[in-house]
Amino acid sequence: MSAAGAVLTGCFTESQDDEPTGGSSTMETGEESTGSIGDHGTSTTTPAGAPATSSGDAEASEAGTTSGETTSTDTPGEGETTNGDDSSTGSDLAPVCGDGVVEGDETCDDGNANENDGCSTACVAQWWTGNDEQCSDGQAEPCGYHGASCRLGADGEAVFCYWADSTEEGGCDSTPGIWTLAESDFAMDHPELVFPRDGACFTLAGNLQCDAADAFACEAAGAASCTQSLSADGLEETGPAICYWEGDETACGETSGLWTEPGDGFAMDHPNVLPPDTAACITQVPNL
């Protein structure tokens, strides 16, 4: 979904929607040598009638052949070593993520294991807010439900949900995130943001949080969390608040929730009511 700065900072107008009809029972190494030197000996041919060679002569013949003698010596083939051990003949080694050196397919390597500093633990450059501190569990909850990671803003107050795997607008459309271009007004207003690509998929966590009254209703019903649903058109059209219960379909039958599959009509109309590609026990707050 295309992004605009106003959308990111806007408020939502809650609208009623139909109850889920889901209820149905029905997301280089170098070349390693495998060969080794066998027991290769030295053979010597002595012309007929010539005196036998003494052990000393045989030793001398290893350094060079004498007149009338022919010597054949097996030599190691390609990839073989002279000590009979397997070894690598190449000098190129696979990149080591975290050594501070950008090599191979790495797009960054800052020498640490901090996932929030713009360089992932897989050495892939990511969108960065300018703050590498961890979100609290409460701040991360709405992001985690939707398969996003949590990022604190540079001021330590703003909280963003970021979908690192959605590197194109099409992929971002399947999330509640907003595809924001590096040259957008929002990006220009926040120069601390770092975009490793043309755009990034993120949104303010507040866009996914229920208001206090809805959150209380879900909690009172024994739900694990409350999330703000969106219409298929994005943040411009806010759907109903959704209560979510943990557990399988059997456990759902003991709650006020309805077991909802990703392909159900309600889930199709509200693409962020379920965790990514996962069936879940949910219901709209007005249904309680």
Instruction: Kindly report, residue by residue over 62-96, the tens digit of the pLDDT.
Output: 444 444 444 444 554 544 444 444 444 445 678 88
Mean pLDDT of the 124-136 span: 91
Same domain, 150 and 117: no
The residue out of 207, 237, 265 marking a domain boundary is 207
Residue found under tokens 């709650």: 255
pTM metric for this prediction:
0.61
Residue 13 inside a domain? The answer is no
Same domain, 198 and 240: no
Same domain, 201 and 260: no
How many separate domains does the chain show? Answer: 3
Among 65-74, 202-211, 232-241, the range with the most confident prediction by mean pLDDT is: 202-211
11-39: burial string, b at 16+ Cβ within 10 Å, e else: ebebeebeebebbeeeeeeeeebeeeeee
Residue 178 inside a domain? The answer is yes
CA 17 centroid distance within chain: 34
Same domain, 153 and 120: no
Same domain, 102 and 140: no
| Per-residue pLDDT, 235 | 57
| Per-residue pLDDT, 98 | 87
pLDDT digit string, tens, across residues 2-44 = 443 334 544 333 434 444 444 333 334 344 434 433 344 444 4
Q: For residue 276, is pLDDT > 80?
A: yes
Same domain, 135 and 181: yes
Residue 23 inside a domain? The answer is no
pLDDT band at 233 (very low <50, low <70, confident <90, very high): low
Residue 278 inside a domain? The answer is yes
Residues in Cβ contact with 146 at an 8 Å cutoff, skipping those fewer than 6 apart: 161, 175, 176, 208, 227, 272, 275, 276
User: DSSP class of residue 287?
Assistant: G
3-state DSSP assignment of residue 204 = strand
Q: How far is CA 39 from CA 42, 82, 171, in A?
A: 10, 11, 61
Residue 117 inside a domain? The answer is yes
Same domain, 142 and 117: no
Residue 140 inside a domain? The answer is yes
The residue out of 207, 233, 260 marking a domain boundary is 207
34-38, 113-117, 119-123, 192-196: least confident range:
34-38
Residue 85 inside a domain? The answer is no
The residue out of 155, 187, 207 marking a domain boundary is 207
Same domain, 135 and 118: no
Residue 19 inside a domain? The answer is no
Range of the domain at 157: 131-207
3-state DSSP assignment of residue 63 = helix
Longest dimension (CA), the chain: 113
